[in-house]
Structure 1
């Protein structure tokens, strides 16, 4: 009988020991930091800036990844469900993750759509995309400033002990964003208004155009899930010729074949248009490079556009 009781006691110890090990698997328990998962590279960069050394950030998407088409792997789903919170863009940008987010909310997991920081009047709608709002809100620096403060508020709610720290980081970054906007407006001012026609692979730059005074035309719609047809290419080729557009642009997260087809269509009509460079649209550049940050990406894009269209 004593041996039986000892065996039961040993089994209980093993179970409890196993529970302790499992509890330590989470980032929060291992490091004492808030565990956050982010979707796009822009949001990953923002959470690292605002969260600083008090937040452990895991980004799902890397450089060159198209969030419109991104599907979660089994490992991604595990990260999402075990994090303290998930920060994502919203407005259907991460279209193939919507079902995952809904399941998370049903299980009371914290999911935060950063576009919720914005008022309807901040957003651009599109008739071409079933009346939905354009999700590429990071290309308006003023909107990104709002989203920065919203991020700090959400982190503060999750981790009240570090609320002052998060707000201080957000305010310091807000000042950098304000300076960036002033600098980029000066950059664009050297380009005559009639040359401010920006043509890219898909409609990612409407907020950029609204903010800095460009007419923006994308070969594909708001989502890269839609393909450009022959009629779209011909129509845009005619616009390029009519407005004497000097350059069109490839995007880092979108295959360049559509822009190359557009260039060929212009050439077929005895005109030439250059490919002015590759812009970062739905993803930042490589980590460790200036373009791997929001500030560096925005500066690079603006300078590339202005230099090619002069």
Structure 2
């Protein structure tokens, strides 16, 4: 990380004049994003009027992500930077702090949320669970903030940004109805979601699911033997039908849990792979926020029914 920060400081000096000149000419905004969810959001609002570069790709775990030299260059040469915040991108925090001293202020979208509505967590320096995008209402607030910033930075395209915002918010409202209808078809006693780590607490709170993660809130923590055995007993006691792998977390943790249940004379199925900290491959249904949410809810309901 020290090497990256040194490189960052050098790059600031070398590119300062270039950045000043670029902002004065009529070019597309260069927007850099961190997680795939935010990248998809910004593309929906900006469309062809902006250039978007996402640092993280499909299946990338933001908890463990470290900035490369190429990432630092993208950040320095950007006009706008959007990230989740709440220490989700923990290993990028130091880089963002350095940027604040270089007349760049990366925008943490989670700062727009009412802290009284967030779920507390001792695992993060923010003291909050950062997986806020699983509350669609919160994600809509992200949309509104992104639109506001893009309009301020590029007023000539305000009409386009506002039209895209209106369309996308309508799609998110439809998504909320779809998800609620699907959840209503699952008996309340079956609404137990067991995953590799606690990424789905906001989903659980919104749709009345009991969410249990083997690794806790951060994938940086490892599940021990006692954790596995304790959760295995919970699955047996609650007669949980299926447990779930996450695309950005190694499957071995859930497979170990499944074996622990079997060793006690019971059976639990792996209900499928859920997308938690990252979207699926670009160009697929799961490669968009809305498509990911639809895929997840269909997978969860089908496996627990």
- Normalised by the length of structure 1, the TM-score is 0.89
Pick one of 53, 59, 70 that aligns with 1:58: 53
Residues 1:211 and 2:206 are matched in the alignment: yes
CA–CA distance in structure 1, aligned partners of residues 24 and 225 of structure 2: 55
1:132-211 to 2 correspondences below 5 Å: 132-211=127-206
**Which 10-residue stretch deviates more, 103-112 or 93-102?**
103-112
Name the structure 1 match of 2:113: 118
Contact preservation (8 Å) 1:250, 1:278 = yes
> Hey, which bits of structure 1, 4+ residues long, moved more than 6 A?
26-31
Name the structure 1 match of 2:34: 39
Q: Deviations over 1:50-91 (max 9, x none)?
A: 111111000010000000000011111011111011110000
* Aligned residue pair count: 290
Contact preservation (8 Å) 1:125, 1:134 = yes
CA–CA distance in structure 2, aligned partners of residues 112 and 179 of structure 1: 27
Residues 1:246 and 2:236 are matched in the alignment: no
The verdict on how the C-alpha distance between 1:273 and 1:171 changes in structure 2, with shifts beyond 3 A counting, is same
Give 1 or 2 for the bigger CA radius of gyration. Answer: 1
1:31-110 to 2 correspondences below 5 Å: 32-110=27-105
Name the structure 1 match of 2:8: none
Offset at 1:122? 2.4
The verdict on how the C-alpha distance between 1:128 and 1:62 changes in structure 2, with shifts beyond 3 A counting, is closer
The 3-state SS of whatever aligns with 1:138 is helix
Consecutive unaligned residues of structure 2, counting only runs of 5 or more, are 1-13
Name the structure 2 match of 1:272: 267
The 3-state SS of whatever aligns with 2:196 is strand
RMSD over aligned Cα atoms? 2.0
Name the structure 1 match of 2:5: none
Name the structure 1 match of 2:297: 302
Name the structure 2 match of 1:256: 251
